[in-house]
Amino acid sequence: MTSTLLYRCYDQIGEAATWLPHQEIFLWVDIDNALLHEYHPETNSVTDHSLPDMVTTIIPNREKTDEIWLALRNRLVSYHLKTGVIKELTILPAITPELRTNDGKSSPEGRIWLGVMHRSNHDKTGSLYCVEKDFSCRKILENQCIPNGIVWNRTGDTMYYADSGQGCIYRFAYDAQQGAIHSQQIAIQVPKEYGVPDGMAIDDRGFLWVAHWGGFGVYVWNPETGKLTDKIDVPTPLVASCAFGGKRMNELYITTARDGLSDEEKERFPLSGSLFVATLLNIKQ
């Protein structure tokens, strides 16, 4: 399976793939350039929103369709897509200047799970936080390397979480009442030649669609068996995040990056940093 170029851009780190079904628009960010991109499928156009700090995660607000929550370097804010108004929600505790937020998602019951990583030293310097509905924060995991993609199964009792620095995807039993995880297992240990797992999505079968940084694609894994079942090829090495979207939810939007590529690699892979899409058959969301 192959992807096609949807929108040419030059994101340093294109991340946080997010589909907003009520508005039928796709959002993603360029972390270091502090940009929120808003893609409109009907017009094939993009509106860019400049933010006051690096931005790493997008969380849809389930109660206000024109408002989203964003993770900036060390805090969560609300952002109104129409007016551009920003309101601070919470500052994450103990995030020193060498740390920053990374990938995050909202759990089925509405908590925000958010990774924090070191900018340069990835040797067990990261953490995973849970932000409650009142925006109080709890540190759930320490000694992480690069906390990344998070998803839940359809019944909401299993959480999958990628640590890119360890090259694996973990499975946890999820307690929605307490906002707790336990019974950690390795669901998928990614072979090094496939790159490392980054952002991910999950389908109705429970299969994981994982963007592989350094892997030239989105890999489809069966977490019950740990087996690779498919791959969507992307013509750039640094594939960062993906999300299902479109009117029939059968399109996979894929973000990519340029950060860390040499000048020669940028010439070899000129579409690095762009947005791609794959139209899928027999996928139900």
Name the residues annotated as catalytic. Answer: 198
Tokens 């929605």 found at: 176
CB atoms within 10 A of CB 124: 14
The token pair at 218 is 């989105």
User: With contact defined as beta carbons under 8 Å apart, do 175 and 145 qualify?
Assistant: no
CA 6 to each of CA 108, 242, 253, 266: distance values in angstroms, whole numbers, following the listed order: 30, 13, 9, 19
DSSP annotation of 41 reads T
Sorted by sequence, the CB contacts under 8 Å of residue 77 that are 6+ apart come out as 69, 70, 86, 87, 88, 89
Report d(CA 258, CA 256) in Å as an integer.
7
Which among 124, 176, 131 is positioned nearest to 147, based on CA atoms?
A: 124
